[in-house]
Amino acid sequence: MAIYKVVLYGDDVLREKCRPVTRINANITKLLDNMRETMYDAKGVGLAAPQVGVAKRVVVVDAGDGLVELINPEIVLSEGEETDVEGCLSFPDLIGDVTRAAWVKVKGLNRQGREVSYEATGYKARAFQHEIDHLDGILFIDKAVNVRKLKPGRR
């Protein structure tokens, strides 16, 4: 496995609408493995393929309750609204307040090509929405208010 360099704001791939995965093959499973390792190495809770320079609809999320890998993910239902602080590995020294759905149901394919779905609230719901936004070229700063620099040594 390899740890990728996280793409930083300003790279065009972060604004691309990502292509759906049409075939799950060794390249896609390797991408998932390397994205997982990259996310954990960077101490993130989620990572989308464009953040490692790949314009495909693939995300990994671990909000503290185990790894979720999704291929071609989509939000199928959402309810409520809450605002909280977000950051992004592609903006290493910025945070902002973002309003998102309080509850979501997401579906996609797992690495075996089987459809899976997850319901989430709180931090995990926020992580799903943040990463799926990346797949459409939407960045947290597009939705954030009160954007500010992180204090040195904070993450």
* Catalytic residue from among 16, 82, 119, 131: 131
88 is in an annotated binding site: yes
At residue 43, the pLDDT reads 95
130 is in an annotated binding site: yes
Class of domain 12-149: alpha beta
What percentage of the chain has pLDDT greater than the value 70? 97
Alpha helices in 42-134 (DSSP H): 122-134
Question: Encoding tokens for residue 117?
Answer: 């779905």
Domain coordinates in residue numbering, the chain: 12-149
pTM: 0.95
Measured CA distances, 114 to 59, 71, 110 (Å): 15, 10, 6
CA distance 144 to 151: 18
For residue range 82-113, what is the model confidence (pLDDT) as tens digits? 999 999 999 999 999 999 999 999 999 999 99
Measured CA distances, 137 to 2, 34, 59, 93, 146 (Å): 25, 21, 13, 20, 21
Comparison of pLDDT for 150 and 77, the residue scoring more: 77
For residue range 114-142, what is the model confidence (pLDDT) as tens digits? 999 999 999 999 999 999 999 999 999 99
Amino acid letter for position 80: G
